[in-house]
Amino acid sequence: MKWDGTSLELIDQRKLPHVEEYVKCQTSGCVADAIKKMIVRGAPAIGASAAFGYVLGAIENRKDLNVETMEKVKDKLANTRPTAVNLFWALERMHKRFLSAISENSDDNAIINVLNEEAERIANEDIQVNKQMGNLGQELLPEDATVITHCNAGALATVDYGTAVGVIHAALDHGKTIHAYVDETRPYLQGARLTAWELMKLGVDTTLICDNMAGWVMKTRKVDAIIVGADRIAANGDTANKIGTYSLASLAKKHGVKVYVAAPLSTIDTKIKSGSEIPIEERSHEEVTHVQGVKIAPDGVKVYNPAFDVTDAEMIDAIITEKGILRYPYTESIKKLFE
């Protein structure tokens, strides 16, 4: 993403890896649309984009900059996608900063400058957090490691560097050798289109597999770990991530493969006690009945398309955060992080 203070340019992830095209947003509505239509995706990237969208909302309403107006901007951005908690975390942080700024200053330009600084701070913090997670998480991998990835948790899903892919990136920087099996991640193919592309750019030995091949790969190849990101982690460690993560974790337990989740503290929702409380987004049926615009299913077939599933905390061997590596049981270790 590129931010110049008055506009946000986002790479259109729907068109990767074949076309590198940017969408330029100069309104909060455009940012909201970009999040909803998955032009931008990945929990940290959504959060940072929403923060910049909030600034654009303030610029749009500079002649009528008040609490009621900015609450409408916040709600418009918040109502785009329900599962990724980083979206709500970033918007709450921006709105809190706005309330503080407007109580201290009546100059609209000064308030907008304060909001701009806060949004840029959120974006810059994300990069540093990802690098910290990467350095901590790479210690979990052997010198010559084989991993399975699911969905996309690389630079495209963040402001830069990545969460799960950030761990791989850091391992390479420490001289380790990584072999990656990349789940295609149906129905949106984030693994095939995005993660494979990113890992190949990093120079990783990358092998693309269909989602339903992962179990056989674990059984017949030496797989050290599954590394994934997260969209929301409950207070007990239950983790919502892209649909298919739960299946991978179940297979991993069968085959003795470690399951690692890499996620910043902003992804942990301490207000939610367990995964049963996490809202699961259901997306368009066409994502299942069509592949890249080509219809593959019969007319009138019923479709169920949850975008996420929840992996039970006890199935996760470690949660990698910027403040340290957490182990099961997670309730106490997560609580300590926020004290």
Same domain, yes or no: 216 and 312: yes
Same domain, yes or no: 315 and 187: yes
Whole-angstrom Cα distance, residue 318 to residue 260?
5
> What is the total count of domains within the chain?
2
Mean pLDDT of the chain: 96
Whole-angstrom Cα distance, residue 91 to residue 51?
6
Half-sphere exposure of 335 (CA within 13 A, CB side): 7
Give the model's pLDDT for residue 339. 80
Q: Is the pLDDT of residue 104 over 90?
A: no
Q: Is the pLDDT of residue 143 over 90?
A: yes
**Per residue in 145-199, pLDDT tens?**
999 999 999 999 999 999 999 999 999 999 999 999 999 999 999 999 999 999 9
Whole-angstrom Cα distance, residue 184 to residue 206?
12
Same domain, yes or no: 144 and 110: no
Task: Please indicate whether residue 231 is annotated as part of the active site.
Answer: yes
Question: CATH code at 40?
Answer: 1.20.120.420
Q: How many CB atoms within 10 Å of residue 295?
A: 10
Question: CATH code at 193?
Answer: 3.40.50.10470
Same domain, yes or no: 28 and 175: no
Same domain, yes or no: 45 and 194: no
Task: Say if CB 241 and CB 307 are below 8 A apart.
Answer: no
Domain boundary among 76, 98, 132: 132
Alpha-carbon dihedral sign for residues 186, 187, 189, 190:
negative
pTM of this structure: 0.91
Same domain, yes or no: 182 and 59: no
**Per residue in 1-42, pLDDT tens?**
999 999 999 999 999 999 999 999 999 999 999 999 999 999
Q: Where are the alpha helices (DSSP H) in 105-193?
A: 108-137, 164-173, 190
φ, ψ for residue 141 (rounded to 5)? -95, 140
For residue 113, what are its two tokens? 């400058």
Whole-angstrom Cα distance, residue 163 to residue 272?
22
Same domain, yes or no: 149 and 260: yes
Size of the chain, expressed as the number of residues it contains: 339
Residue 194 or residue 63, greater confidence: 194
Q: What are the C-alpha distances in Å from 66 to residues 69, 72, 93, 289, 336?
A: 5, 10, 17, 45, 37
187: containing domain: 136-337
Domain boundary among 102, 132, 162: 132
Same domain, yes or no: 154 and 112: no
Same domain, yes or no: 211 and 256: yes
Check 231, 238, 309, 317 and give the catalytic one.
231
Domain boundary among 132, 158, 184: 132
Whole-angstrom Cα distance, residue 137 to residue 89?
24
Same domain, yes or no: 35 and 176: no
**Per residue in 245-274, pLDDT tens?**
999 999 999 999 999 999 999 999 999 999
For residue 5, what are its two tokens? 């203070």
Q: Is the pLDDT of residue 105 over 80?
A: no
**3-class secondary-structure state, position 22:** strand
Whole-angstrom Cα distance, residue 170 to residue 149?
15
Same domain, yes or no: 106 and 153: no
Same domain, yes or no: 142 and 158: yes
